[in-house]
Structure 1
């Protein structure tokens, strides 16, 4: 009997509590709960697609020498940024430098000789040749008069045959000297001669080719950066012997870097080439940089339902390295001035997006069109800017009696 009455008391208490709860619900629902409301306002809304990927760099080049030798100096360390053409490693020049210097000197000499050949004989040299010709002509005249006098003396028996022959020899020498001086003058006055210029030009070409070869030997002993980039690895030290073709420096072309991320294939309709994005390095959140979508797909991972998207950075910060994890915010849509509501005021279900409008003291559902989804705001259509919209839609139900408390300055 006591057990029976105990169950009756428990049932009575449960009924009483249920009635109390229902009464409270009716009071709240029908007496009008205070709810915060806002009005749609024009503002900028940016819809972003957030994804995570890695920074990849191609090409990565292993740089080597064309010749073997002993390392004289290494000018870079791992992590250094270098410019195209910058010297990275130098070998000892040994005799190569001396050969190059001698070849350059020979080329300069040949260039001067060609200049002389083209210019002809200097005026002072021609004047000297003329003076020499005049001197030997006078000497020939004297020798001729002396020969005539000697012949007369010999006829008169006043000179021996030997003395006459000596006079004749002196005269012959003076004639030969005059011819030689005239020939030298004629040669100088005929310059420049095309055959002399041709010979000088050929000698210069030969000397310049030798200088180029010698300088190439010197340059092959200097390893320079073929492009601007980041030194990923250095495998050589000064004083070490290196073989031709042995990798010494690994260099990444940071100018060809790209970010690769994966996103759900359902986002494909919203992603387009050229869209702007902001990239954030996960390890260094302060390192932000701009990028643009450069490639979408085309491969889709059917098992995971994702597609790869590639982005090209505009300019990489100094402390960003290959294979770093990067978060990207791709700008899918930007509306500069659209009627917008805080995200807490908009809900979505199978029927679509909707808000709660307060009219005549009650909350009523109103379907809206979502134009853009920002981080904190949604741009919507189908709503007037003077309508009161419940700020926190989860706080009310359809038809509930409410007392609107307008909130201003919602951020």
Structure 2
């Protein structure tokens, strides 16, 4: 009986020692809070529709920022990309053509046309004059004179046309045409950029470090935009949520160091920092309600763990020890 009593006493002492090591008593300059590791989950989805080509990770896999997770068949998007690039190239050439203006050869051709039209007009005028003299002496019919006058009018009109064409060639394109071509080029480039982003969106990447919680779909499934493919538990940074009663609000300041421990036997103590203190009071959440605090007001506090490891799991209850201002460090 005496041996059994001694064993019982030692067992109680051991349990008490472990408790006080894991949950040190708040001394004159410290106080203890309880909280939970924040549950931070992201539903990952493609931003385009299509048939899933590959799913590259499984539930429980750890991923890093930018790591490829899944792909959608992109042949349709690549065809659209090729068309958009061709349109941009064609429009760029059109803008360059308008900005450069008429080539010297085009202006020379226009001048040659004017010279030809001047010669034709001179010839038609001389013919008309001869026909007029002959018709006045009744050597030729009146019809011959009218034909000569018609040919002269045509030569004069032709000369005016080629003169205006020369003026246009020398002046070059209108400024309005250049502005319109540049606006069309900007629209085509925007379309190209949009299609390039859609091609990039056929690859799903991890937005942050974390662990895959759920693999929702499999290769071959057809997805629509924003249809969840994976659920990701964000593990960096690790946040802890706790609540401070109104009477202790002055003891918690952003940036102050704290220590965090769990109830897991053999677990280590973590270092954290107060990152955020809510400016708004709220009633005690049900998760931390006690009969004494049921109607009390509290302020939400976020802690950022600086040396987190796999020992801190999302949703896990933790104990937080805070040093009073002026005693930290």
Whether TM-score is above 0.5 comes out as yes
Q: Is 2:50 the counterpart of 1:69?
A: yes
- Unpaired runs of at least 5, structure 2: 1-26, 136-146
2:72 aligns to what? 91
1:301 aligns to what? 289
1:329 aligns to what? 321
1:207 aligns to what? 188
Any idea what SS the aligned residue of 1:57 has?
coil
Instruction: Answer whether contact 2:46 2:202 (CA < 8 A) is retained.
Output: yes
- Unpaired runs of at least 5, structure 1: 1-44, 156-165, 337-411
1:380 aligns to what? none
Select 1:100's aligned residue among 78, 81, 87: 81
In the TM superposition, what is the alpha-carbon distance from 1:102 to its structure 2 partner?
0.9
Select 2:210's aligned residue among 212, 222, 230: 230
Select 1:55's aligned residue among 24, 27, 37: 37
Instruction: Answer whether contact 2:63 2:212 (CA < 8 A) is retained.
Output: no
Q: In the superposition, relative to structure 1, how do residues 252 and 205 fare at CA in structure 2: closer, same or farther (>3 Å)?
A: same
2:16 aligns to what? none
Instruction: Answer whether contact 2:260 2:320 (CA < 8 A) is retained.
Output: yes
Any idea what SS the aligned residue of 1:182 has?
helix
Where do 1:361-400 residues align within 5 Å? none
User: CA-to-partner distance for each residue in 1:320-361, whole Å, 9 max, x for gaps?
Assistant: 54234545332235559xxxxxxxxxxxxxxxxxxxxxxxxx
Any idea what SS the aligned residue of 1:289 has?
strand
More helix per residue: 2
In the TM superposition, what is the alpha-carbon distance from 1:73 to its structure 2 partner?
3.4
Instruction: Answer whether contact 1:132 1:181 (CA < 8 A) is retained.
Output: no
Select 1:182's aligned residue among 159, 163, 166: 163
Instruction: Answer whether contact 1:136 1:174 (CA < 8 A) is retained.
Output: no
Where do 1:112-131 residues align within 5 Å? 112-117=93-98, 119=99, 121-125=101-105, 127-131=107-111
1:277 aligns to what? 258
Instruction: Answer whether contact 2:72 2:203 (CA < 8 A) is retained.
Output: yes
Provide the rounded CA distance (Å) in 1 between the counterparts of 2:177 and 2:325.
77
In the TM superposition, what is the alpha-carbon distance from 1:103 to its structure 2 partner?
1.9
Any idea what SS the aligned residue of 1:133 has?
helix
Provide the rounded CA distance (Å) in 1 between the counterparts of 2:210 and 2:62.
6
Provide the rounded CA distance (Å) in 2 between the counterparts of 1:213 and 1:55.
40
Select 2:272's aligned residue among 290, 299, 312: 290
Q: Is 2:120 the counterpart of 1:140?
A: yes
Query: Number of paired residues?
Result: 286
Q: Is 2:292 the counterpart of 1:312?
A: no
Instruction: Answer whether contact 1:277 1:291 (CA < 8 A) is retained.
Output: yes
Any idea what SS the aligned residue of 1:278 has?
strand
Select 2:178's aligned residue among 186, 190, 197: 197
User: CA-to-partner distance for each residue in 1:242-270, whole Å, 9 max, x for gaps?
Assistant: 3554321213455675324589x799488
Q: In the superposition, relative to structure 1, how do residues 302 and 290 fare at CA in structure 2: closer, same or farther (>3 Å)?
A: closer
Q: Is 2:232 the counterpart of 1:251?
A: yes
RMSD: 5.2
Q: In the superposition, relative to structure 1, how do residues 187 and 250 fare at CA in structure 2: closer, same or farther (>3 Å)?
A: same
Q: State the TM-score, normalizing by the size of structure 2.
A: 0.60
Instruction: Answer whether contact 1:114 1:200 (CA < 8 A) is retained.
Output: yes
User: CA-to-partner distance for each residue in 1:356-378, whole Å, 9 max, x for gaps?
Assistant: xxxxxxxxxxxxxxxxxxxxxxx
Q: In the superposition, relative to structure 1, how do residues 189 and 302 fare at CA in structure 2: closer, same or farther (>3 Å)?
A: same
In the TM superposition, what is the alpha-carbon distance from 1:207 to its structure 2 partner?
3.3
Instruction: Answer whether contact 1:272 1:293 (CA < 8 A) is retained.
Output: no
Q: State the TM-score, normalizing by the size of structure 1.
A: 0.50
